[in-house]
């Protein structure tokens, strides 16, 4: 085989291996993907029951209910447009409180979001673009009109 053909064969084999590795990585990560949604997205029907998603928004003031077992909690998340009830069993982060931002990872079950993990927002300077100026509205005392 000529050196030129050897190089072309080697390049072709490297490209096939690279494409194969990318496809295997995508296949392996497909089940790990969790899309970020807001309560308005859920009300609009963008979530699929049982599919892993991340729900982001503000914990509605007066909505946190701690159950007697000490590890179960339910609360409502709002984005200023809609509300979504959330149920969580576990220890919540220290920064989790009413009126603050949070992101929960989990799945929808009926109209309730069942959270596996709760992440509390730790810095007031950051807010996901999907939530816009919701933090400023909460600080100004604005609430949902229903």
- pLDDT digits over 97-136, tens only? 888 888 999 998 888 999 999 988 665 555 556 565 555 5
Does the pTM surpass 0.85? The reply is no
pLDDT above 60 (res 141): no
pLDDT above 60 (res 93): yes
Whether the CB-CB separation of 59 and 97 falls below 8 Å is answered with yes
CA distance 81 to 21: 43
Q: Is the pLDDT higher at 3 or at 130?
A: 3
Task: Supply the pLDDT for residue 30.
Answer: 72
Task: Supply the pLDDT for residue 132.
Answer: 58
Architecture of domain 34-139: Beta Barrel (2.40)
Task: Supply the pLDDT for residue 73.
Answer: 93
Q: Provide the strand spans (E) within the chain.
A: 35-37, 53-59, 65-66, 72-78, 83-89, 101-109, 112-120
CA distance 141 to 82: 17
Q: What angle do CA 125, 80, 67 make, to 5 degrees?
A: 90
Whether the CB-CB separation of 55 and 77 falls below 8 Å is answered with yes
Q: Where are the domains of the chain?
A: 1-31, 34-139
Whether the CB-CB separation of 38 and 131 falls below 8 Å is answered with yes
Q: Is the pLDDT higher at 9 or at 134?
A: 9
């Amino acid at each position: 085989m000529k050196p030129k053909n050897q190089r072309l064969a080697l390049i072709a084999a490297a490209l096939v291996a690279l494409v194969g590795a990318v496809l295997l990585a995508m296949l392996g990560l497909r089940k790990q993907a969790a899309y970020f949604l807001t309560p308005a997205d859920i009300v609009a029907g963008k979530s699929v029951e049982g599919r892993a998603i991340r729900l982001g928004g503000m914990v509605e003031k007066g909505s946190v209910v701690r159950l007697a077992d000490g590890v179960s909690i339910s609360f409502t998340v709002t984005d200023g447009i809609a509300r979504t009830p959330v149920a969580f069993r576990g220890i919540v982060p220290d920064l989790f409180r009413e009126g603050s931002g949070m992101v929960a990872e989990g799945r929808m079950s009926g109209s309730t979001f069942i959270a596996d993990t709760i992440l509390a927002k730790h810095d007031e300077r950051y807010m996901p673009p999907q939530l816009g100026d919701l933090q400023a509205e909460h600080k100004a005392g604005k609430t949902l009109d229903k």
